[in-house]
Chains A and B, each alone.
Chain A
Amino acid sequence: MDHISPVLWQFLVKWMTNFPLFPPEASKIAPQMDALYFFIALVSLIGLVIVILLVTTFCILYRKGRHPVAVQIEGSTLLEATWTIIPLGLFLVMFVWGALIYFRVYTPPANAMNIYVVGKQWMWKAEHPGGQHEINSLHIPIGKPIQLTLISQDVFHSFSIPAFRVKREAIPGRYTSVWFEATMPGTYHLFCTQYCGTNHSQMIGDIVVLTPDDYKKWLAGSTSGMSLAQNGERLFASLSCNACHNAKPDARGPSLANVYGSKLALSSGGTVLADDAYLRESILNPSQHITQGYAPIMPTYQGQVSEEGVIALVEYIKNLNSNYRIDQTLNTTDLLPEGEGKAAPVPAAVAAPKAAPQGMVKP
């Protein structure tokens, strides 16, 4: 290769021999999914080799020069049954194995740490329970199951972490969830994989997996001084939710203490499990979800609270196990100076967390 510049040659060799062929396995589910991947790959390879071998052999043995007159054969029920039943059996094995993994990926364990993720054109916003916010990155510790609760503010997005082998669609108007447990510290790709418009290919970020110690440092260094639930509490007060949901004997709304995870009787008949999705719906669309015994007087908060704000409220209500705090904050909004707690848009709130609760939509 003396006619090619050595520098260029070196570059080409390095370039051509140094690219990945398989993604890193950085989560607990990754090796399990890869085992299935390689099983299907192996079966496929065997199937393909069988077809190629048969075709090649027949082409050599029965080419016209060697085998001038074809022998007419009608078919063979035995052979037909063989190549119906064997593939079917193999496909069913893959189906069962795949379903087991699918259910594992989308069934979070009870002790998982929940992080909310909001997708919007064209960024990912993560809300940690400790009040940390991130854009286009997600810091998580190894060895701890993490559940993501995803929602989109506009169009469909999809939160994909190839190194973890997990992916979940972020859907407008609905929570979805996925979980994983990282096993290897490092920085991995985060992609939006559902086409979402102009800058779809820039809706990417980093998943930063830290050791527990580094994670603690990161948490301490990135806090906004207020947890997500505390932020929700301020929002609860400033939206005057506590005017009705205060557990007083004459309260116009039901008590919210310990409501999360309970079964509620609705005035329309039937019961419903009060989960994240239910809490979100009854903030944005309350007349559809009236608890038995109460009048449908709650106004809708659609358009008044951003998805981040709803998340803070949901997180607050989830952690509410007594009405003591509500009593404490009752009517404190009257004491706030005029305008505060209403006007601040979200980014300003990030910069100055004391100014106003996050998540209110600018009127």
Chain B
Amino acid sequence: MSDTIVSLPDQSTARIPKVNFITKENGLLSWLLTGDHKRIAVLYLISLSFFFFIGGALAGLIRLELLTPQTDLMATDTYNKVFTMHGVIMIFFFLVPSVPATLGNFLIPLMIGAKDLALPKINLLSWYLYIAGGLLAIYTMATGGVDTGWTFTTPLSTHYVNTNVLTTGLAVFIAGFSSIFTGLNFIVTIHKMRCPGMTWFRMPLFVWAHYAASILMVLGTPVVAIAIVLVALERTIGIGVFDPTKGGDPILFQHLFWFYSHPAVYIMILPGMGVISETISTFSRKRVFGYTAVAFSSVAIAVFGFFVWAHHMFIMGISNYSVLVFSLLTMLVAVPSAIKIFNWTFTLYKGSITFETPMLYTFGFMGLFTIGGLTGIFLGTSGTDIHLTETYFIVAHFHFVMVGGMLMAFLAGIHFWWPKMTGRMYPEKISQLAAVVTFIGFNFTFFPQFILGTLGMPRRYASYPPEFQVLNVFSTAGATILGVGYLLPVLYLTWSLKYGEIAGNNPWQATGLEWQTQSPPLTENFLETPIMDHEAYDYEWLENQKEKEVASVG
């Protein structure tokens, strides 16, 4: 057993603890009316996966249409609706809530030694808002869809389409409040509910990342809500804020929209970065290299993240001088991300590394996020942005960051904390295979799109010049592999709920407080309030604990 750190209890005698948050109460109502952050996290996990596979199916349709240069699978109108709904569902109903609402919800109270989030009922309300928004989005899709693109650009969305803009806008608006409440809950919890001894600089970096993301959620989301309300008023009673013939300014909408939607990128990626900090530390048995630098870089990203929105608008006729300012600020926000990548890399240095599935996903994240970040520099540089923006280069860039980065981190986190959430291990070999398949499929799908973008292929095109076909065929073929990579975890994780090995409290020998309680945890999380008497990622403390236990048992 030199190639793994997994240490499971003796399978012949081990049992899942009889009393835990899953078995405490039974019946559908006990789930739908729960205030337990862990149960709400599970509700989120199920509903998020549902929306992910709807969004994924839409992505499959997009890639299928783009297999040939002509529009032969669907009409252009249908294609426009498909990519719009793909964007809306994936961003607002999967990526934004993904890590915070599932892993964050489940783990933040456990990690800081609290019984629950500060506002359990608000937490449940968040989930209901999310579901209401999500179902409304599905309803709009079923009743004709919307074809504005997920960016709702005015005046297209206000005056020129007659699809379900209002209902989709309402769906996003409602889901936005879910996000605000979650952020608020996290901020209050992290400030007020830390156990004795849990100082700010003893918190796991996962909690720091969520703190930074929560600030963005609370401050950014209201702005997109306002933008949506203005679009609705413009559509219904024509107030003219975005209408040049009434003295309005159509670009104003984009300022408002990106003021949220750029920070939203960090809402999505920061929690993912938090996951990576945990996994990389655990599987190299080392404290994260430069803990404070990583913690502060999260906060720096959150702060700078608010001042770069206009880099989405370099060619939109904003003044050349504001382009200068926003390009410079974009370069500054790139630095903390670079810092994080190097800190994670050096966490490996002189560690004792093993390669379980979460670690493989972590390596996948580091590779793909590095490419995604570096290609962002092409776009933050104002000169090259002129050529590359609004093409497949952009599409490839944000999929590398969002799917290659965020989704890899999400899967790393799901595998890493699966034993804690369910009490059972996932099957190791097949999940390692899934991680590798996902990585290969991902690169096949999205790398050709960088070349397509450089060639000038515009995004949101249902048809394209024939010379772009070969690269599009590569991309579609890769998407098929990627699809398999995403289906596998659903199958074996479901299988493991019944047949997985019993995990015990701490299968990874990790240091976080969440690993010092039973799996799955009690509804109250801990038998008695824990006391944090060591730094985060203190593996020597863990060794001492084990020795003490052995001594007391012996």
Q: Name A's B-contacting residues (CB within 8 A).
A: 15-16, 19-23, 33, 36-37, 40-41, 43-44, 47-48, 51-52, 54-55, 58-59, 62-65, 67-76, 79-80, 83-84, 87-88, 91-92, 94-95, 97-103, 105-107, 121, 154-156, 158, 160, 162-163, 165-169, 171-174, 176, 189, 191-202, 285, 302
Contacts and interface: CB of A to CB of B under 8 A. Distances in A.
B76 A198 contact: yes
B71 A72 contact: no
A195 B350 CA distance: 50
Nearest to A47: B374
Contacts of B332: 88, 91
B197 interface: no
The 7 closest A-B pairs by CB, nearest first: A162-B456, A173-B244, A101-B383, A98-B381, A75-B290, A98-B383, A193-B390
5 contacts: A91-B334, A95-B328, A156-B153, A162-B455, A201-B460
Nearest to B344: A55
Interface string B144-187: 00010101010110011100000000000000000000000000
A237 B156 CA distance: 35
B313 to A, nearest CB: 8
Contacts of B354: 63-64
Contact of A51 (B341, B375, B471): B341
B315 A168 contact: yes
B323 interface: yes
Nearest to A77: B290
A196 B345 contact: no
B244 A72 contact: no
Given A64-B352, A94-B331, A169 B316 contact: yes
At the interface, is chain A mostly helix, strand, loop or mixed? mixed
A70 B374 contact: no
Interface string B370-396: 110011011011111111011100000
Interface stretch (B262-270, B279-287, B514-522): B279-287
Interface residues on B, range: 35 or more
Nearest to A201: B461
Given A65-B3, A167-B386, A193-B459, 18 more contacts: A19-B468, A23-B456, A33-B387, A47-B374, A69-B285, A73-B289, A73-B349, A74-B290, A75-B291, A80-B339, A88-B331, A94-B331, A94-B381, A167-B387, A167-B390, A173-B250, A191-B456, A192-B458
Interface in B334-379: 334-335, 338-339, 341-343, 345-346, 348-355, 363, 366-367, 370-371, 374-375, 377-378
B467 interface: yes
Interface string B452-465: 00111011111111
Contacts of A68: 2, 352
Contact of B327 (A51, A62, A99, A107): A99
Q: Which of B343, B374, B463, B540 has the most CB of A within 10 A?
A: B374
Which residue of A59, A103, A176, A195 has the most chain B CB atoms within 10 A of its CB atom?
A195
Contact of A158 (B315, B384, B468): B315
